Chains A and B, each alone.
Chain A
């Protein structure tokens, strides 16, 4: 006898609403709300609320500047006025680029040192036991905790900031690569062994490509971490720099510039992450499907 059908669950092929059309292997139904609607609506809501709050005038403009004041600050930041460029002596893009360039150097060094270190950690057990705790310790430190030390060693210029970013970024990269080595599928290693591979060939043909997705994940974490760190690190001698600009506003009570900086910092973080995700799709698209 067949058991009675469970009748409490819908059996007509309708999935619960949180199951996306893509998961069900369907096209989004025609005439449905386009995907750009939601982020645009969210931004509109926030800006609208902000505008309404300032229009009512509960708080002074010094505490909560209006959207139009922030827009004005933006215009100031990209133009020359009173014979001086932008804000704090630099245009907005110069501030942003100064911060990004620090990130690029710090993370590049972190990749150069961190990825091989991660491989060594993953491939060589005694080394993992020896150096693993040190890397984990470094990873658990808030970078600003050792920033003073770096300033004492390397001065207040860019060198100490790049060192800071390097130290912040290399641990996540190393640990991610090491985890990737450890999770290399054993049947792929065995497959190369029975084809005659020696240890070096196993690493070259199986382990290195297997680790690429983990490397990119580590890079993503590292860039995110470095970005939050640099903005905070630019509080000392950080001009030009978007964090330095944000910090400098407190002296002149430029809350409009502070909000502008927050927006720029946030958008940059989202774009950086998006860029790395696109990179991941291109070079590690196979990952997760198997």
Chain B
């Protein structure tokens, strides 16, 4: 467990690039070995909002977990800056699809405090950080609530606050809005776009929704299943937009872009 923090000792500057070199990942299922990812070569530049888009089973979540360091690839290497990723680190935060990743025995603020406690932040400083993060995700009024008492959307806000509290260089989001209803989802999309614009961090966002990808990403990597591969890589124009999400959605360029991407996924 000691070597996993090596990359943290490298002098930290915002926005180091993440590189994936020749990564193949297999796991063992009941039916035998499954190739989740094959021959992945990707460069994720610092400060970008990169979306991994693809149908279920294309290995996009596996790729995210590899970047998080929660899995070690069967072959190939992953790097951040010039450090190799050998395990999880607080510099790469993760927002899970399941809000059950929150600790149900703790209040909202204690959940947000988790990473700060782990990293030994003194209490006064911690209080200030928690207040800031709760403010950022509009949960200040719910600081004392149990996380089990929150709605699904609020639970995901709480997860985002918890991940951002330790000030990670990269924020990885694994279908964070996948389980939410359409209206809640839209409001959280607006939130995450604002947070990315405010913080300028490297975001890597997994989704199977073409609209979500085009709406949020400054770049999209399209993946296809069995075995998981990256089949397309392009820049997207709407990540820096300031107008409300509903307006972006109504923009003809947006509609066209979604249409093109969808056609391409269908062709595969």
Chain A residues engaging chain B, CB cutoff 8 angstroms: 185, 187-188, 190-199, 201, 205-206, 209, 212, 284, 286-287, 289-290
Contact = CB atoms under 8 A, between A and B. Distances in A.
A194 B146 contact: no
Contact of A290 (B69, B88, B100): B100
A196 B166 contact: yes
A201 B163 CA distance: 17
A209 to B, nearest CB: 5
B67 to A, nearest CB: 11
A287 B103 CA distance: 11
Interface string B98-135: 10111111100000001101110000000000000000
A198 B90 contact: no
Nearest to B91: A196
B233 to A, nearest CB: 26
Contact of B96 (A191, A209, A284): A191
21 contacts: A185-B101, A187-B96, A187-B100, A190-B96, A191-B103, A191-B162, A192-B114, A194-B88, A194-B90, A195-B115, A195-B118, A196-B5, A196-B89, A196-B119, A196-B166, A206-B103, A209-B103, A209-B105, A209-B106, A286-B104, A286-B148
Contact of B93 (A185, A194, A287): A194
B34 interface: no
Contacts of A195: 90, 93, 114-115, 118-119, 162-163, 166
Contacts, number: 79
A286 B98 CA distance: 16
A289 B94 contact: no
Contact of A196 (B90, B100, B103, B104): B90
Interface of B: 1, 5, 68-70, 87-90, 92-94, 96, 98, 100-106, 114-115, 117-119, 146, 148, 162-163, 166
Contacts of B93: 194-195
Contacts of A190: 68, 70, 88, 94, 96, 101
Nearest to A199: B1
A196 B93 CA distance: 9
B131 to A, nearest CB: 18
A130 to B, nearest CB: 24
Contacts of A188: 100-103
Contact of B94 (A191, A197, A198, A205): A191
A289 B101 CA distance: 14
B98 A187 contact: yes
Nearest to B104: A286
The 5 closest A-B CB pairs, nearest first, are: A196-B90, A195-B115, A187-B101, A286-B104, A193-B88
A4 to B, nearest CB: 29
A217 to B, nearest CB: 15
Nearest to B149: A289
A205 B103 CA distance: 9
Given A188-B101, A195-B93, A286 B146 contact: yes
Contact of A205 (B69, B96, B117, B163): B117
A188 B105 CA distance: 12
Nearest to A286: B104
A192 B114 CA distance: 8
Given A196-B115, A284-B105, 15 more contacts: A187-B100, A188-B102, A190-B101, A193-B88, A194-B88, A194-B90, A195-B114, A195-B163, A196-B5, A196-B88, A196-B90, A196-B118, A198-B1, A201-B118, A286-B105
Nearest to A289: B148
A190 B88 CA distance: 9
Contact of A194 (B1, B70, B98): B70
B158 to A, nearest CB: 11
Nearest to B117: A205
Nearest to A190: B70
Contacts of B68: 190, 194
Q: Which of A195, A201, A284 has the most CB of B within 10 A?
A: A195
Contacts of B146: 286
B169 to A, nearest CB: 12
Contacts of A198: 1
Q: Which of A194, A195, A197, A287 has the most CB of B within 10 A?
A: A194
A27 B118 CA distance: 43
Nearest to B115: A195
Nearest to A197: B118
B54 to A, nearest CB: 21
Contacts of A196: 5, 88-90, 115, 118-119, 166
